[in-house]
Structure 1
């Protein structure tokens, strides 16, 4: 076996894309970085391979035949917390927002540099691995009628269990651990997405919007997570627990 073939396996990436030249370049680039790759050429195949192979991350193109990337994202997120990075065209602004609202963890816009993509993939996998290895004592956080059982990744909102994707769960933990403190967008991105995150604040804003839709009594008039204009966000103090 050649020396290059002995590189440690760092994770499996499911590539869901129907453009042969693009897929070929991705497979070559990711393989050189030590990733194992699986390829799906349409949305239905992407779902099937996700269920059968349990990849460490899914690189999901928005425009897929048979079943769109957005529909694939929606279905996978109902079944799994596997990291999903959406791939969009330059004109896909709306698709980008929709993908994030459906539970994608990040997005990249074609064309992109392989080095940037690899950095984002590694960051997502690293955070997932650290979460899986955490063995801290049982921690329970409570505020505003929200109870979070950290080890079990369970969230109860006013007596009803609510399922949160990984990034929304991490966001909620960050807010609950810093009540009344203004958290800048840069700080939140660093804590939740990692210091090597390449994206912009749009990802954060969409995730906050999704989180509000699940924990706020009235998401259109948020009373739990406040926006601090031009700075970031703040979890309002729960005066009922003061």
Structure 2
């Protein structure tokens, strides 16, 4: 099955041009003119990637991006006429994976779409020798990407899984925010380390008893009491 891309853009000319180039590459494309339409699609048949304009009627793209990112790590490419650095940083901090300034080349957009899908696929592939990693009551099944807490399976996003696995495989080791950005988001991530704090906050909300500690002024570590004895 071909990857499904949702394009949320209120300019019909841009929508049609982007759609033509993406379909030529074999992608399934859904065209939407508002974030509200995007919310409905997300609930009914969520796509594999979003191409999202910022200046939209009704809910703006920033708010929609944040809504998606609170529950999913699906790749998001932001397109906007705003070319100030602060706008790019805000879009990436809210969860965008890439940012293109209008006017842009449709071929460049296609290249970035391919790169993000490739990165997502690399994140999913498992190269580790051992299948299960355990820290106290946390059990991570790497090959089928499942997480159990106190024997019950928990729903997690891709980045939550990646960060938990990193901590579990390196229990009691402190990671700086910069290290976590590289290992979880990738070396080409452009944005502040606030994304790390937001992800840790989401993990703590799902696993309130997990000993995921703050190393003040540095970063975070997962405490394993068995290894500490």
Alignment check: 8 A CA contact 1:179 1:234 kept: yes
Q: Work out the CA distance in 2 between the residues paired with 1:120 and 1:182.
A: 33
1:171-182 alignment, distance < 5 Å: 171-182=163-174
Q: 1:151 aligns with which of 137, 143, 160?
A: 143
- Give the RMSD, CA atoms, in angstroms: 4.3
Determine whether 1:191 maps to 2:183.
yes
- Matches of 1:18 and 1:230 in 2, distance apart? 43
Q: Across the two proteins, how many residue pairs are aligned to each other?
A: 219
The whole-number CA distance in structure 2 between the counterparts of 1:204 and 1:120 is 23
Aligned to 2:207: 215
- Give deviations 1:179-201, integer Å, cap 9, x for gaps: 11121222211111111112221
Residue deviations 1:26-67 (CA, integer Å, cap 9, x gap): x28975x96845421124543565688864311345675577
Question: Scaled by the length of structure 1, what TM-score is found?
Answer: 0.65
Matched, 1:237 2:229: no
**Aligned mates of 1:113, 1:184 — CA distance in 2:** 37
Residue 120 of structure 1 contacts residue 198 of structure 1 at CA under 8 Å; is this kept in 2? no
Instruction: Give me the whole-angstrom Cα distance separating, in 2, the residues matched to 1:229 and 1:143.
Output: 22
Between stretches 193-202 and 228-237, larger displacement belongs to 228-237
Question: 1:109 and 1:56, CA in 2 relative to 1: closer, same or farther beyond 3 A?
Answer: closer
TM-score (norm 2): 0.68
The offset of 1:173, in angstroms, is 0.7
Cα 1:54–1:28 shift into 2, 3 Å: closer
**1:59 aligned counterpart, secondary structure:** strand
- 1:183-235 CA-partner distances (Å, limit 9, x unpaired): 12222111111111122212221111111111122xxxxx6222223322112
- Are the structure 2 counterparts of residues 18 and 149 from structure 1 closer, same or farther at C-alpha, using a change threshold of 3 Å? same
Task: Give the CA deviation at 1:171.
Answer: 0.7
